[in-house]
Every structure is written in structure tokens, then in C-alpha cells.
Chains A and B, each alone.
Chain A
Amino acid sequence: MNEPRRLSRREFLQLAGGGILVCVGCAALPGLSQNRWPRYPEDVDAYLLIGADGRVSVFSGKIEMGQGVMTSLAQMAAEELGVDLQSIDMVLGDTDRCPWDMGTFGSMTTRMFGPALRAAAAEARVVLSGLAAARLGVAPERLSVRHGVVSVTDAPSRQVSYAELARGQRLLRRVDAAAVLKAAADFEVMGRAATRLDARAKVTGEAKFAGDIRLAGQLYARMLRPPVHRAQLRSLDTSAAEAMAGVTVIRRDDLVAVMHADPQRSSEALAALRAEWDLPQEAAPDHESIFEHLAQSGAALTESAHRGDVVAARPRAARVFESTYRKGYVAHAPIEPHAALAGFSAGRVTVWASTQTPFPTRERIARALGLAPDAVRVIAPFLGGGFGGKSADRQAVEAARLAQLCGRPVQVAWDRSEEFLYDRFDPAAVVTIVSGVDGERRVAFWDFTGYGAGERGAAHVYDIPELRIRCGGGMSYEPTPAPQRLHPFEVGPWRAPGANMNVFAIESQMDLMAAACGSDPLEFRLRHLSDARMRAVLQAAAAGFGWKAAAAPSGRGCGIACSSDAGSYVAACAEVAVDKTKGTVHVARVVCAEDLGIVVNPEGARMQIEGGVTMGLGYALSEELHFRGGDIRDRNFGSYHLPRFSSVPRIEAILVRNDGIAPQGGGEPPITIVGAVIANAVFDATGARQLRLPMTAERVLAAIATAQRPGGA
């Protein structure tokens, strides 16, 4: 582990350019620290600078990938500081300027980082009020702050602005005690719908993504890629590429790259490489046999919950239900493929990269190049989508290595085929649930066994007396050596990792039991729920939808599902139409209700609900990777089908007010219920239980045929 960089106070102020700088460590906020590796510049998690022009800069290692934290973090700072939202400048994802951060994932920005930022802003207000008190000659208690102006409460003409107070100051204030944060009832900026701060730059084309940054003399690199994972390069002839004007060929260890000042020329040079490959000889699962492979992998099961004795409960149950649910691999498929630009200056390399993890990426680049971490600066400009897929950052290391090798700035921008080849997919998974009901139509026991998806979302809040939850072969966040690999290629975190599959299984099983008991699926769920937050979101979704009680299948095509994730609770009702001769599913309407504690930006929260529901339609209905072993067959959007305008239903987002708890995660929870709510609606329409995602027309037809056979489910 490298020695953390320690900046002196003087360096720190110079770095920030003067003014008043306020820092806060999460250590001051017990239970909220995300900073497991305290370092740079001390153990500071947030800081903000009030400049002599009155503008406030907020520095955060988080990044903006569409989820809206640029705006919601600014709202939090503006609220606690007492300034207008428009006077905040966000400085995000720059390892030289921002405090250390482990990365932007897990719906943690608002939950974990938000409190630190609010504390820093609240403390800054105290500092500024103290300066104002001295300037105005009154006690700080007699002052109030609005719009960045401190005034004497009973003599408002006596006032001084933050800009005037900051002028000529070089003040560094470190917060060590938990600041008193504003109560929700006093909010003026938080809790109100704010227009995204990044909207204008994004509609004019001014917004810069990693591939949009330019350095003088830069080259565009294309890398030689294997046709399939684990192929070995047998021979390579680069002579034709080297004969092309302006082309540089670099071959170093596993890295084979062609470069040119024009990206089209570098692609032509790549096509001119003559490579022969030895393909791996391996017994390879494909997208159909993968489920048997997973279930028979012998992956060790870890028990994450245990109540009573499910084995003994089984023979006592009035009815027992055993179902196995499956879901294939799903791609992240951001519209922006991975890109990075690396350039050296005075022995340091700066890398602009589309990454969710600028600080860990800095470490990876430093290791790969044999540099000290201080000699590497990573800047994450706007990301064109991430969804968990931009955290390995192979492209950033490639760009930095090539810049080091050729002595010029190098851009690496993957094409769509590389984006699919090197995606770390949402894993295929198999979940088996054995459950039973007693004579009073209550769920008596629940035995959950999952392979591939991991533990997230495998727990639930239903009141079931005897229960066991076991998961095996959960995903690893670090690359795994091939022999220990459960999956034939890398998998990784994908928006609410694992929860989409686990919630699909849980909520399908609850639905199936409700139907078998002749109960309305909403009423059946509520009967097993004492958790007030879950009851509230279910009832809000049902009320917004106009849910009418009926046992499924009613033929109407209405479904319901709920889950809790990232500290939030979410429920949805959906209405679908199924063409029973073709098997196609048209989703007409989704009403989704969410309790995410205090809502920072209601408009941003609604966007995340709508976005999660829309993206979720992909894994529910159309998205599934085709492969054989390491041969990734889908390499573009022609065969891998994202949701389109024609597939998007009317989506209504309901925010269930809960100001009693701090803001919780918003980016991930809504997507976790989409597979389940659509599957349950399809069951209601057809009487056919859907056990596999995505629910392609072919599978829906097959399920309908099974259901129509005597004894079919």
C-alpha cells in the first residue's frame, strides 16, 4: 500500500485558490463512514470552498453518469449553507482536486456521502456567520442567512455577503464534530424539484465526455482483440499496418495497438493486422446450458438468514410449492462505450476516463505503469451511462500504458464490439424456492437457494415463521482466475447487483402462492407484512394504479411486486396485454411508488424511478446475452435488444413521503421489481407462470402451452 499523499495546509489553500475552505471527515458522523481506507489529504470526505466571488465550489470524488448527483449534491450544499442552487459549482471525480472516494455505485452517494457534505456546508455556515458577527459587531445568534447574505435578523439592512466575507481570506476550517443539520420542515432548496445543473450543457453538445477531450498531438489507438475470451495469439504480421502512412504499431507483452492521428485511419490499420489465434479447447456452457452448469457447479452455499427449521416444516405444510427461476446474462450497454485519454506532462500522467471509480483507477494505472499514485491524475468527466459497468477501467490503463510507451497523448475509445466483449455482465442465475402454506392460507415456511446472483435482494421482509436463505457463487467484484470461475467470462455489478433476479424469484413465488390460495395478490402480501414502510409503498402503488382486488389469473393482465433495496422501499403495479398466439407482451402502464426517506430532488427521484422501470423492461422482456463459452455472440444492438420507444409504457412515479429518515438510495431500488411485476401481470393475463427471464415471445408461448396441459401450472 502506498503512503497516502499529505498536503500541507498551505498547499491545500493554493490548490483551491484561496477563499474559505471547509473540510469534514465522515469519522465525525458515526455509522456513516464509507472511508475504509482513510488518506488524502487526511481523512477528509468532503470539502467546499467559498470563493471571493461568492461562488461555492463543492469537491467530491463522486461522478455524474446520469443519475443526477451533480444536482442533488449541490442542493444539499446550498440548503445547509444558505445559498442559491445557482451559486454552486460542482467539481466531481478529479483525483487531484477532490477528496478520496471509493467510487460511485450501490446507490450510496446520497446515503453515505450526503451527510458528510451537508455537515461541511452546515459548518461553513457557522464559520461564515462567525466572521459576519465580527464584521457587523453583533453576536452570531442575532444573524440569519439567506441567498448567501448574512444579515442581522432584527435589522436586515445591516448585512454582509459571503463574497465579501471570503474576500482576502485564506482560511481552512476542519470539522470534527457532527454539525447540526437542518430539519426537513425548514428546507428551502432540498425537497424541491430542481432542474438538472447539467441539462443545458447536455442539450447544446457542450457537455464533455471522456472521448470528447483533446490534447495537442494526440493519437487514436485501436487494440488487437482476441475473437473469443482465452484465445491465444499464435502469429501476428504487422507489416501491412506498419506500411501505412502515419501509423504507429506497438507490441508489448499482451498489448498490441495501432495508432494514428485520425481514428478512422487507426481502425483501417487495425483491419490490416494479420493475426492467427489458437482457440480454447474447453467444454463450454452456452446461454441454454449455463443454468445446469451453475446449479451443478458445487459452489459453496452461504446461509444469510435462518429462522426455525424449514426441513421439519415441509411435511407439516398444507401445500408445498417448489419453483426454479432462471435469468441469463445481461449487458450494461451504456450508449457511451468506454473511453480514455492519457497524456504525460512533467513526469505525471493525466487520464480522462469514463469511470465510476476514479480513485481505484488511479491506483490501477499507477501499478500498471510503475508510477507512484501521486504521479497519476484521473479525471472522470460526464459519463454516458455507467450502471455498474464502468468500474474495471481496462481502457484507462490501456491509454496510460500507450501514452507512456509512445511519448504522446493517446485516446482509447472502444467500439461497440469491444464494449460487449469486455463487459462484466450481470450474471446468469438460478434460484430455487421451496415454500408452503398452512391451512389458513398463510406462508408457513420458505427455503431459498440461489446460484450466481449473490445475496443482494435475497432477503425479504415478509413475516414467515420458518425460513432459510442460502446463496452460492455470488459475484466477485475483482477479476477471478479462470479455474475458479463459475462464469465463462467476467461478471460484475449491474444496477442493483443480483437483486433483480432474487426479487423476481421471491415476488413470483409469493404471487404463485397467492394464486394457489385464491387470494388477491395485494391482500396476500399485506397479510404477511408488518413492516410499515413496505405496507405504505404497496398501498400507495395500488391506490395510484386503481388496483381492484381479484385472485389471479383474472385475465386483466395486472401484476404487483415490491422490494426493499439500498435503504429504500419500492412497490409497483403493472398492466400488460399478451398476444396469446404470438407470445408478445405489451406493457401498457406501470405505477411505481417509492419511499426513499427525505427526498432531496423530487424531480430527480422521479427520473430515477422512470429510468429504472424502463431499463428493467430490458432484462424482463428482451435482453439476454447469446454466447458459447468465451465466444460472445452479441456484439452490437442488432442482436441484443434494448427497450425502445415502442416498448415503453406510461410510467407514473409516486414518492411516498417519509421525512423521518435521512435520504436513502434512489438509483437502483425501482429496477429490482420490474421483472417480477411484469411476470406477475403476464400470469394474471394468461394463467401461465413465467419462470425465466427475459420473457421472450417464444418462452411466453411455451409457458402458455404448459399451463394449458392437464396438471400444468
Chain B
Amino acid sequence: MPGPIRFTLNGRPVSVEAHPERLLLWTLRGELALTGTKYGCGVGICGACTVLVDRRAMRSCLTTLADVERREVVTIEGLARGERLHPLQQAFVEHGALQCGYCTPGMILTAQALLLETPHPSREAIAAAMEHQLCRCGAHQRILAAIESVAAPAAPTHE
């Protein structure tokens, strides 16, 4: 087996002894014990497994460890600061923007990727960015409202 693969996970350096073709999804959920990242479809359609890689939303079910070597990975567990929720997390709670909660980590991280690139997107831009995240419970309208509340120019920031 080749040497360990190193990357940054939620702000901390990690080193994983694994094959470079091993999928990020199973590495996160397995040896790294971060089960907030979900399996939904396995082929990159549903978005439940979305994580941030160098501030961009990526489908971890299609991402190998080689893809993230020496890069920065953020999962849903990496957003809150201690007890203080990230503004998007707080907005999802306040807007009731979830039901079963299974798609929620992917929704929040996809929204975070959008806001990192475009801090104040329009509602249309938000909907377009979220188009490829599937939710079966029908929380869509509240998800858009939650993201919109954080995207407003006067919204609080996390940092």
C-alpha cells in the first residue's frame, strides 16, 4: 500500500493509511467516525454526501482520497464553533428547514459553498445552486428561506 494520505479535515491535519482510490465518503464514515456525511444514491445525484473540498461542494461518494490529498475538507461536523451553531445551521433550525434531517448536512454544506463564493446571492441563484440536492420530505421552501436569511446583506457572519 502507498504511504499515508494527508489532508486537512475540519481545520485539523489528518493522515489516513488507505488506498488512494478509496472513497472519501467511506473514509469519513468509517475510520474518521464522522457519520454526518450520508450515503444517498452512490452516483452523485442526490447530494446527501456533499462535503466542502477547498471551499467547493463535492460529492464524497465520487471523491477519492487521492482527490483530497493536501486539500481542505469540511464536513457538517466542522461548521459549529463549540456550542455556537454556524449561521446556516442556526437558520435551518429557526426556519424549520428540515424534517427527517437526512439530506440536511448536504443541504447546509452546498449552501455554505454558495455563500463562500457569492455572499449575497438572489433567491433564484440560491434555488439554482440547490437544484441538485434532493429532499424527499418537501422542506424546499423553508430551506430556501433559511439560506436567504443568511445571504441577506445584513445577516450575521460566523467569523
Which A residues fall within an 8 A CB radius of B?
A: 65-68, 195-196, 198-209, 211-212, 214, 262-264, 333-337, 382-387, 413, 415-416, 603-604, 607, 610-615, 636-638, 642-646, 648, 650-651
Contact = CB atoms under 8 A, between A and B. Distances in A.
B4 interface: no
B77 A613 contact: no
B79 to A, nearest CB: 8
A611 B138 CA distance: 4
Interface in B39-79: 39-43, 45-46, 48, 75-77, 79
B131 interface: yes
B108 A203 contact: yes
B26 to A, nearest CB: 5
Interface string B103-146: 11100100000000000000000011011111111111111100
Nearest 4 interchain pairs by C-beta: A205-B36, A384-B102, A614-B138, A66-B100
Given A67-B99, A204-B76, A199 B93 contact: yes
A645 B138 contact: no
A385 B136 contact: yes
A615 B141 CA distance: 12
Contacts of A607: 96, 99, 139, 142
Interface of B: 22-23, 26, 29-30, 33-43, 45-46, 48, 75-77, 79-80, 85, 89-90, 92-94, 96, 98-105, 108, 127-128, 130-144
30 contacts: A195-B93, A203-B92, A204-B36, A204-B85, A205-B75, A205-B76, A205-B77, A211-B35, A212-B35, A262-B30, A264-B26, A334-B136, A335-B38, A337-B40, A383-B100, A384-B38, A385-B102, A416-B42, A416-B43, A613-B138, A636-B41, A636-B42, A637-B134, A638-B43, A643-B140, A644-B131, A645-B130, A645-B133, A646-B127, A648-B140
Given A195-B96, A203-B92, A416-B43, A334 B127 contact: no
Given A66-B137, A335-B134, A650-B141, A204 B89 contact: yes
Given A610-B141, A638-B45, A645-B144, A195 B94 contact: yes
Contact of A611 (B76, B80, B89, B137): B137
Contact of B39 (A202, A211, A333, A614): A211
Contacts of A68: 99
Contacts, number: 170
Given A611-B139, A638-B45, A648-B140, A335 B102 contact: yes
Nearest to A616: B138
Contacts of B35: 205, 208-209, 211-212, 214
Nearest to B135: A335
Given A203-B92, A384-B102, A263 B136 contact: no
B141 A648 contact: yes
Contacts of B23: 264
Most buried by A among B75, B94, B99, B127: B99
Given A607-B99, A644-B131, A202 B104 contact: yes
Nearest to B101: A202
A337 B130 CA distance: 21
B18 to A, nearest CB: 9
Contacts of A651: 141
A199 B131 CA distance: 23
Most buried by A among B33, B103, B136: B136
